[in-house]
Chain A
């Protein structure tokens, strides 16, 4: 089983420096692309590989790049941004790539910048990833020294300046347009789409924002081809995927596996199954803003299409497991507390609706709930859905809630009936 993304990552030693990285074949894709391929050839190769955005939305990366205006009338300045603001609760996959092999990301960004003809690239890094910041800074420095960044890269006409930007700790900055505002020094509220960042992004110029994992795949596709990349996968989405599991499993962790491995394999084989005395009740398959899946879904493939068909989303591919000793109401309340707090405050439904939801869940959890409260929760899951709000934060927040109401309704009702939490308030913090 090939693990292109993580094969050079070893937790027990520091990341490869540039020399070591080059010895493993690093930066080969930069040579390949710059010397042998046109930007458009790179782009269409990526589209053909069926690499889907690993940030959670799962949009074809090459297709996304195709929306960048080209030709003489297009703005000369374009930007590439690596979205490394990984703040989704339960998600820690990009951290592995950032701390484990920063050169891989830089390499991917150089090739991607070439494909979209960007001359400036930013890495927007989560504030708390202090170790990653140190390592990326070092790697960027090395890449400049070696001539992979700066003017006339490898003697070609390509110029690329790369900057690391560390955020201030706001979940909403993971939303690409809020990220752009933040990077411009403005308040991190999302922007209206259209216009999409591909057309009017950072400083009003065409901009591509890609997730770290997405960008890390680029060198390997350029080096080995689209067919190879698709062949790595068990499903129609190309490549491998970083899957993670947290919760009361025996071996919580993160693994690079073929895209489309089943949930059961992930939980039972890789995470070692549930801890002794705990049973599996359900899981958020791809971070906090995805719908619960339950035991009945254990055999589905963890790819974008199949998880969607099961009523959830692959999201970031990092699963949070709910066990039978943990209160689902408290679990969801904890998530809603997070989302309410991280709402940017721009649009009404999110800003006012999420705190209301949080208050209701808290009162249910404290045994002060009423049956009508369940209607109010459903009211919110309906009216905070996609299209109602300015960005995807609130609709994402509603996904665990609506599925919890669906799969664990009896828990909610018991709280209200018993006027207390049957789990004695036990939930994951």
Chain B
């Protein structure tokens, strides 16, 4: 700690920080542009000037950029000094010489950092009388809109895109007052994190193009704290509604999880909520769905549920509450995980390792602190994008032995000092990944080789760990080098996951972690609640099918799950034929909903409260942003609870809140102990007030429904959470788990998050939200055996493995126009030599047989892919769900 004096008042502050972040932490309003808490200081914009004095007797002082000066004991500075105030106003005046006066038609207006800083500095009168410079804008793809005339050249966009996120196709061009931020030519921004440009840009140069389609000012949104549904990481998001439509997703700060950013799938994948595929009407056998109101739907559905003769199939893409409500309704013994046996056993194994205590399971923030990383069989940019971003930050910090006195905030100087000396990163994956460019070694291997490489590394570190099988000399050498680098590291991290569906990977990763003793271990799963469902420890889908085939089961309830994505369609078809009643609860039409005898609509995450458990075992709650004007659209757990009440003869009005449900979960399943802390009780109030989802400047509520009814309708009630669907309520800072939007007086933009943090870039006041449920303790007693079974492949046989695509592999986000545009068409990928042997060219039609089905797909030749391995994109076609399998390629004739 150091004592500094700000305008002659003493403050105890942390050392190692710069003056800007220190002043902001202390609550001062000091304007800035180029500095960003996640990206550090570069001193370009000159906006954060203060006056620094030599000592008590110095009365003149010198103008200093607060972002470029470290805290030191006894330092004296002034924010209110007249010169400094004038200087800061001058900067805005200069920036405004070219900035258009188009706030009224600018998407950023009302949430614009430049507006806020302009007001803060007091600049208001234009003295520049000449023409402004203008630019041509570019087409940047379906996600980001470009309006360069608004640019104030803070350089944040390129620093984020290139330096922070590793993007290649956005840069700064030209010089002097004509610097240009864009691509070398029009085209789709390729980086998976491009959406953050909209938040990183302090004004309206880069804005959310999907928002433009249904534009709403920030102050007119009804927003709710939410959690991303599109991968297993559980990034925190804000979901924003207007006119009953979900219109924008922005990142919600969580210092432990996603920090300031989210990936483009998370940001732009939301439009499935407004998709024409939405199920808005119930279906009950042949009854006219128009006649089905909530009450008779419930009654008729309840009549189909016979205790003991009904089973339920849960889902990894819906909340703990919904899964539990189903389990409760039909009984624990009748509840099944809605995933294949293969995936379920993989998750079980992961949970076993996570619970074993051999390694710490890091949060995304902790991943950034690793000093040596090994990635086994995951292409993180496609399977868990924000984890890839965290890995990049860790590696770009440089090796731990690199010594420098430069403070962490001095980002460009550090970058220039570190240059290409990255911390050790090793990647073994069948395909190239975007992180390869940072890796000391990136090996494109078959799944079996990756697993054996993992065993070899563990064995090299600790000879008690089982030895590898069948590894080439050169790979053994690589294993040795990797083992050496991991052993040398203080915080080594092993990352693997379920992308390629290999138990061997999990075991090998666990062995490496155990051999290292102090390693961190991180697993990636497929879906947003994969781990939560796995923790419920129910039998897999195949068992449910077996149960139906063997027993006299009347009814199956399928919760938010398209079974055709889980196992072969033949199996699912046979299963459905065996079921008497198929009750499907879901929000988007799919192949399973078509088979439903009873179809119950449900809310998407945007219309729901719920809790998910992410890949580190962190329970995080999301909250309803949308009020569907349709009584049938409500959370699955509410339907199931209501059915439960009907079954038990309890009045439906005695509703259960999410908090109570979570408490029930913890009682019913001790592994969920503590989960209820993820949400506040519904009667939580501050000064007797609720937390409003709408800003106090919300407009139009008396007008927006006036075409229907001139009297203002009663706002929707929220009986489940401490939040309200109105603009009335507590105006101070909400608890960290229920921050619906970031706003603070004078800070209308997303930068207002500064005001919600204990220290800038640190935890939110009251701690970052989320409860970690896995507190490993048991201690893995022995290493996993190396059960190596060589795969024999005949001439026409290939081992088909799934590959993840950020745009396309996720079940829900694919129903968003921009994501569909970016998604690949189904294909089969083969090694170049394999293709040549088959006389096939890129684009040739390949016909293969899998699981009795004959499929034809265009070929993608993938140079680095190991021989005799075929890849199929996950999620794009049903038959891909049960990979890896051995497939027979049938066409050996040329097809040109």
Which residues of chain B (13-71) have a CB below 8 Å from chain A?
Answer: 42-47, 62-64, 68
- B402 CB to nearest chain A CB (Å): 9
Q: How far is the CA of A44 from the CA of B179 in the complex (A)?
A: 44
Contact A192 B47 (CB under 8 A): no
Q: How far is the CA of A351 from the CA of B172 in the complex (A)?
A: 14
Within the complex, which residue of B46, B172, B416 is in contact with A348, where a contact is CB–CB below 8 Å?
Answer: B46
Residues of A within 8 A of B175 (CB): 170, 341-345
Contact B46 A352 (CB under 8 A): no
Which of A124-132, A238-246, A387-395, A399-407 binds B? A387-395
Residues of A within 8 A of B179 (CB): 345, 351
Q: Does A67 contact B (CB under 8 A)?
A: no
- A128 CB to nearest chain B CB (Å): 17
Contact A192 B155 (CB under 8 A): no
- B39 CB to nearest chain A CB (Å): 14
Residues of A within 8 A of B130 (CB): 356, 359, 363
Q: How far is the CA of A195 from the CA of B130 in the complex (A)?
A: 39
Which residues of chain B (170-193) have a CB below 8 Å from chain A?
Answer: 172, 174-179
Within the complex, which residue of A170, A204, A346, A376 is in contact with B417, where a contact is CB–CB below 8 Å?
Answer: A204
Contact A347 B45 (CB under 8 A): yes
> Which residue on A lies nearest to B96, using beta carbons?
A352
Q: Does B412 contact A (CB under 8 A)?
A: yes
Contact B42 A192 (CB under 8 A): yes
- A269 CB to nearest chain B CB (Å): 40
Contact B91 A349 (CB under 8 A): yes
Residues of B within 8 A of A187 (CB): 172
- A392 CB to nearest chain B CB (Å): 14
Q: How far is the CA of A345 from the CA of B172 in the complex (A)?
A: 10
Residues of A within 8 A of B63 (CB): 387-388
Q: How far is the CA of A345 from the CA of B46 in the complex (A)?
A: 13
Contact B128 A356 (CB under 8 A): yes
Which residues of chain B (140-181) have a CB below 8 Å from chain A?
Answer: 152-153, 155, 172, 174-179
Q: Does B243 contact A (CB under 8 A)?
A: no
Q: Does B413 contact A (CB under 8 A)?
A: yes
Q: Does B295 contact A (CB under 8 A)?
A: no
- B528 CB to nearest chain A CB (Å): 40
Contact B176 A343 (CB under 8 A): yes
Q: Does B418 contact A (CB under 8 A)?
A: yes
Within the complex, which residue of B43, B90, B177 is in contact with A390, where a contact is CB–CB below 8 Å?
Answer: B43
Known: A191-B412, A192-B413, A204-B419. A390 touches B46 (CB 8 A): yes
Q: How far is the CA of A379 from the CA of B63 in the complex (A)?
A: 16
Known: A191-B412, A203-B419. A389 touches B95 (CB 8 A): no
Q: Does A306 contact B (CB under 8 A)?
A: no
Q: Does B94 contact A (CB under 8 A)?
A: yes
Contact B43 A192 (CB under 8 A): yes
Contact A387 B413 (CB under 8 A): no
> Which residue on B lies nearest to A372, using beta carbons?
B127
Q: Does B317 contact A (CB under 8 A)?
A: no
- A68 CB to nearest chain B CB (Å): 15
Q: Does B97 contact A (CB under 8 A)?
A: yes
- B189 CB to nearest chain A CB (Å): 20
Q: Does B76 contact A (CB under 8 A)?
A: no
What are the interface flags for A195-209 relative to B under an 8 Å C-beta threshold, 1 for contact and 0 otherwise? 100001001100000
Residues of A within 8 A of B97 (CB): 352, 355-356
> Which residue on A lies nearest to B398, using beta carbons?
A204
Q: Does A39 contact B (CB under 8 A)?
A: no
Which residues of chain B (401-426) have a CB below 8 Å from chain A?
Answer: 404, 406, 410, 412-413, 416-419, 421
Residues of B within 8 A of A364 (CB): none
- A352 CB to nearest chain B CB (Å): 4
> Which residue on B lies nearest to A362, using beta carbons?
B130
Q: Does B87 contact A (CB under 8 A)?
A: yes
Residues of A within 8 A of B64 (CB): 387
Q: Does A416 contact B (CB under 8 A)?
A: no
> Which residue on B lies nearest to A370, using beta carbons?
B129
Contact B44 A343 (CB under 8 A): no
Q: Does B301 contact A (CB under 8 A)?
A: no
Contact B94 A348 (CB under 8 A): yes
Residues of A within 8 A of B47 (CB): 348
Chain A: interface secondary structure? helix
Contact A352 B419 (CB under 8 A): no
Q: Does B72 contact A (CB under 8 A)?
A: no
Contact B176 A348 (CB under 8 A): no
Residues of A within 8 A of B419 (CB): 203-204
Q: Does B98 contact A (CB under 8 A)?
A: yes
Q: How far is the CA of A181 from the CA of B42 in the complex (A)?
A: 15
Contact A195 B417 (CB under 8 A): yes
- A344 CB to nearest chain B CB (Å): 6
Residues of A within 8 A of B46 (CB): 347-349, 388-390
Q: Which of A191, A341, A349, A355 has the most CB of B within 10 A?
A: A355
Residues of A within 8 A of B94 (CB): 348-349, 351-353, 356
Residues of A within 8 A of B45 (CB): 347-348
> Which residue on A lies nearest to B63, using beta carbons?
A387
Which residues of chain A (113-170) have a CB below 8 Å from chain B?
Answer: 170
Q: How far is the CA of A355 from the CA of B130 in the complex (A)?
A: 10
Q: Does A234 contact B (CB under 8 A)?
A: no
Q: Does A398 contact B (CB under 8 A)?
A: no
Contact B176 A351 (CB under 8 A): yes
> Which residue on A lies nearest to B43, using beta carbons?
A192
Q: Does A383 contact B (CB under 8 A)?
A: yes
Which residues of chain A (227-278) have a CB below 8 Å from chain B?
Answer: none
Which residues of chain A (272-291) have a CB below 8 Å from chain B?
Answer: none
Q: Does A322 contact B (CB under 8 A)?
A: no
Q: How far is the CA of A43 from the CA of B177 in the complex (A)?
A: 42
Contact A351 B43 (CB under 8 A): no
> Which residue on A lies nearest to B68, using beta carbons?
A192
Q: Does A216 contact B (CB under 8 A)?
A: no
Within the complex, which residue of A204, A343, A349, A352 is in contact with B416, where a contact is CB–CB below 8 Å?
Answer: A204
Contact B412 A192 (CB under 8 A): yes
Q: How far is the CA of A390 from the CA of B47 in the complex (A)?
A: 12
Q: Does A340 contact B (CB under 8 A)?
A: yes
- B47 CB to nearest chain A CB (Å): 7
Residues of A within 8 A of B416 (CB): 180-181, 191, 200, 204
Within the complex, which residue of B98, B127, B152 is in contact with A376, where a contact is CB–CB below 8 Å?
Answer: B127
Known: A192-B42, A352-B97, A356-B94. A345 touches B178 (CB 8 A): yes
Residues of B within 8 A of A195 (CB): 406, 413, 417
Q: How far is the CA of A346 from the CA of B68 in the complex (A)?
A: 15
Which residues of chain A (317-360) have a CB below 8 Å from chain B?
Answer: 340-349, 351-356, 359
Contact A200 B155 (CB under 8 A): no
Q: How far is the CA of A342 from the CA of B175 in the complex (A)?
A: 8
Residues of B within 8 A of A379 (CB): 90
Residues of B within 8 A of A352 (CB): 94-95, 97-98, 177
Q: Which of A340, A356, A376, A389 has the most CB of B within 10 A?
A: A356
Q: How far is the CA of A299 from the CA of B43 in the complex (A)?
A: 42
Within the complex, which residue of B153, B177, B412 is in contact with A355, where a contact is CB–CB below 8 Å?
Answer: B177
Q: Which of B64, B177, B412, B418 has the most CB of A within 10 A?
A: B177
Within the complex, which residue of A342, A346, A376, A388 is in contact with B155, where a contact is CB–CB below 8 Å?
Answer: A346
> Which residue on A lies nearest to B173, using beta carbons?
A187
Known: A352-B95, A376-B127, A388-B46. A345 touches B176 (CB 8 A): yes
Q: How far is the CA of A109 from the CA of B344 in the complex (A)?
A: 69
Top 8 closest A-B pairs, CB basis? A352-B94, A345-B179, A204-B417, A343-B176, A200-B417, A204-B419, A359-B130, A355-B177
Give 9 CB contacts A-B under 8 Å. Answer: A191-B412, A192-B68, A192-B410, A200-B416, A204-B418, A340-B177, A345-B177, A388-B46, A389-B46
Interface residues, chain A, with chain B CB atoms under 8 Å away: 170, 180-181, 187, 191-192, 194-195, 200, 203-204, 340-349, 351-356, 359, 363, 376, 379, 383, 387-390
Since A194-B413, A345-B172, A390-B44 are in contact, a sample of 8 more A-B pairs with Cβ atoms closer than 8 Å, ordered by chain A residue number, is A187-B172, A341-B175, A342-B176, A343-B175, A348-B94, A351-B153, A352-B95, A355-B177
